[in-house]
Chains A and B, each alone.
Chain A
Amino acid sequence: MKALSLTNIRKRFGPLEVLKGIDLSLDDGGFLVLLGPSGCGKSTLLSIIAGLEELTDGEVKIGDRVANDLHPKDRNIAMVFQSYALYPSMSVRRNLAFGLHMRRVDQATQAEAVERVADLLGIAHLLERRPAQLSGGQRQRVAMGRALVRDPELFLFDEPLSNLDAKLRVQMRSEIKKLHNRLKTTIVYVTHDQVEAMTLATSIAVMRDGEIQQNAAPSEIYDRPANLFVAGFVGSPQMNFLDGRIVAAGNGASLELGRDGGPENAAIPLPPEALAGIEASDGRPVVAGIRPEALYRQEGGAGGPGFDTKVDLVEITGADTIVSFTIAGQEATARLSADFKPSLGDDLTLAFDPGRLHLFDRETSNRLN
């Protein structure tokens, strides 16, 4: 059964259209991440699912009920907010029980549910405190507890980890993952953090300007981005984008890097598998995308297609060495092993696995291969 189906969701604020026909669905027990830069409409979409914002057009279905006209309280959902939105005047216990109290659940069941969730999240010792007396991480747990206590059909998370420091964020991220694995809850999760999206989701919907750019499993998003935006948004350091052309050469083709008419063009011969699905129109302008980690140092002659360049900048992160270089007049980076410590200006031969080369149409910016 689909836990959530969105059909042609549109939202207009006056003349401004912030959602332009969103279609999405989520299976029971799925973890959907809405990923995108700020202003892309992802939080508005979440508010529409929650019923906190009215939609201009379209249909929201939660479970098998059309929820368009349902009050938030009748949608059987729970939401965790970025600012936690704990009720400052109530104790943690009251915060957790408030939703049950409002639904007129009897005292004993309330107490039981609060204890269960408090144990699950390790906040049992905090029940009598006020939110102001809690640390950021503890507040985050209480906010999650408030959602879990009601056992709703659908959980909505609105950038829940953005207010935490880096270390706590990683910790809470894995806790959310564990909770999801354990409780098999259905979650819609909004974030602009691609690492959160990649690690948590069973499915990612990348959004931009009120439209879904790609909706797929994390590995698919990473390995086969649908267009330049998705390719550039997911992955750090960012994917290298190099302007070039596909030029027919013999019975294969080669990728000629460089801007049109540029003096420093470099031709890289490509095996046919890198061009699968591309019409062999000679001289087609493309953007070649290569992730920094898809590049490796070529020693000797063997390996994939490659090119020679020089080291422009070296950044040592400890786990690996990020080398910046120029190819055909365009800047790019490579993520190389940590034991490689070149000096500026060193000669460098880099190669890549042709299966990890992404080709995008330069005009439409859509994926070609």
Chain B
Amino acid sequence: MASLKRSNRMKTVGAYAVAFFFLFFGLAPIVWLIITSLKPEHEIVNRTLTYYPHDPILTNYVDIWNQSSFPTLMMNSFITTTMTVVICVVIGTLAAYSFSQYRFPGKHALLIFYLVVRMFPAVLMIIPLFLILRAFGLLDSHLGLALAYTSFLMPLFIWMMKGFFDTVPVELEKAARIDGCTRVGALVRVIMPLVRNGLAATAIFVAIAAWNEYMFALMLTTSSGSRTWPVGLQLMIGEFQLPWGLLAAGGIISIIPVIILFALVQQTMVRGLTAGAVKG
């Protein structure tokens, strides 16, 4: 008995140890970022490492907001992200619904194609995308960048939403059509309320991916008129200066919208992501 109890306790301790290790691994950089953003310059660039700011200041936050183009960068990111999400939600929802509920020629090939697109590294797509966007005069614009994002976020959106639509019985649309809806009407009035949580979860995934994207934004935007925050932040690193405090503050500010978004829809999102798994 005693040894069984002890071995159980060992297991618990072991499990917690593993959990804390990975938690530390994930959280430490963010915590370090927060600490850095609160330190004055001389405390960051110092021979002796300080684990917490001796006299914490908010100057970094004030400075990056007032003395750089950071608010514009945030606004650009916001516009691009919104556009990406809107395009994905409108087109992706219709596409995912068709894939899930209808039979049409080439359906499986198309679905696999979408998956294959996701398998290529994004770098491969940048040059062709650059040429396409240039041809359409969409280079260095919010819409151009948003379209570029949909090239790799749309497949994700469609595959995720298809999973949610798959749980909806086909007969619901038929019933709604007999009751007087068109197909799109049935989708909006009857089906969408059922996949609302899934839609929220998927849209947030897309939003976060678009918000944080760096490489496409670096290649496809050139002016401050459309540049997003990850690129803008990186460009603040100059040849002779590396403003650690400002960069840290910028980083923290930029993850605030994501955190707020998560906080707002956390429950919906978890419900959406687990709906398929435990459907009774």
**Per-residue 0/1 for B171-209: is the Cβ within 8 Å of any A Cβ (1 yes, 0 no)?**
110111111111001000010011000000000000000
A-B contact number at CB 8 A: 56
- CB-based contact B169/A83 at 8 Å: yes
- CB-based contact B193/A98 at 8 Å: no
- CB-based contact A73/B172 at 8 Å: no
- CB-based contact A102/B175 at 8 Å: no
Complex-state Cα separation, A73 to B189, whole angstroms: 15
Binds B, one of A84-92, A244-252, A314-322: A84-92
Complex-state Cα separation, A31 to B171, whole angstroms: 23
Binds B, one of A74-82, A114-122, A202-210: A74-82
Within residues 84 to 112 of chain A, which ones have a CB less than 8 A from any CB in chain B? Answer: 85-89, 98-99, 102-103
Q: Name the distance in Å between A260's Cβ and chain B's nearest Cβ.
A: 48
Closest to A150 in B: B179
Asked whether A50 is an interface residue with its Cβ less than 8 Å from the other chain, the reply is yes
Q: Name the distance in Å between B171's Cβ and chain A's nearest Cβ.
A: 4
Asked whether A146 is an interface residue with its Cβ less than 8 Å from the other chain, the reply is yes
Complex-state Cα separation, A50 to B174, whole angstroms: 9
How many interface residues does B have (CB within 8 Å)? Answer: 16
Complex-state Cα separation, A85 to B174, whole angstroms: 8
Asked whether A52 is an interface residue with its Cβ less than 8 Å from the other chain, the reply is yes
Q: Which residues of B contact A85 (CB under 8 A)?
A: 169, 171-172, 174-175
Within residues 116 to 174 of chain B, which ones have a CB less than 8 A from any CB in chain A? Answer: 169, 171-172, 174
* Neighbour of B175 across the interface among A51, A71, A81, A89, CB < 8 A: A81
Complex-state Cα separation, A82 to B172, whole angstroms: 11
Asked whether A72 is an interface residue with its Cβ less than 8 Å from the other chain, the reply is yes
Complex-state Cα separation, A219 to B93, whole angstroms: 52
- CB-based contact B194/A99 at 8 Å: no
- CB-based contact B178/A98 at 8 Å: no
Q: Name the distance in Å between B189's Cβ and chain A's nearest Cβ.
A: 8
- CB-based contact B177/A87 at 8 Å: no
Complex-state Cα separation, A204 to B175, whole angstroms: 25
- Centre residue among B169, B172, B174, B176 by max chain A CB count within 10 A: B174
Q: Name the distance in Å between B99's Cβ and chain A's nearest Cβ.
A: 19
- CB-based contact A79/B175 at 8 Å: yes
- CB-based contact A73/B179 at 8 Å: yes
* Neighbour of A79 across the interface among B174, B180, B185, B190, CB < 8 A: B174
Q: Name the distance in Å between B108's Cβ and chain A's nearest Cβ.
A: 14
Q: Name the distance in Å between B131's Cβ and chain A's nearest Cβ.
A: 40
Complex-state Cα separation, A88 to B171, whole angstroms: 12
- CB-based contact B172/A52 at 8 Å: no
Q: Name the distance in Å between A296's Cβ and chain B's nearest Cβ.
A: 47
Complex-state Cα separation, A87 to B177, whole angstroms: 12
Closest to A14 in B: B105
Closest to A82 in B: B171
Contacts known (A85-B169, A87-B172, A89-B194); A99 close to B179, Cβ less than 8 A: yes
Complex-state Cα separation, A81 to B170, whole angstroms: 11
- CB-based contact A89/B193 at 8 Å: yes
Closest to B169 in A: A83
Q: Which residues of B contact A79 (CB under 8 A)?
A: 174-175, 178
Complex-state Cα separation, A79 to B129, whole angstroms: 49
Q: Which residues of B contact A51 (CB under 8 A)?
A: 177
Given contacts A78-B178, A102-B181, 16 further A-B contacts (CB under 8 A): A51-B177, A71-B182, A79-B175, A79-B178, A81-B175, A83-B171, A85-B175, A86-B175, A87-B172, A87-B176, A98-B180, A99-B179, A99-B180, A102-B179, A102-B180, A146-B175
23 A/B residue pairs, CB under 8 Å, sorted by A: A52-B174, A52-B177, A71-B182, A72-B177, A72-B178, A73-B179, A73-B180, A79-B174, A81-B175, A83-B171, A85-B171, A85-B172, A85-B174, A86-B175, A87-B176, A87-B190, A88-B194, A89-B190, A89-B193, A98-B176, A98-B180, A99-B180, A103-B180
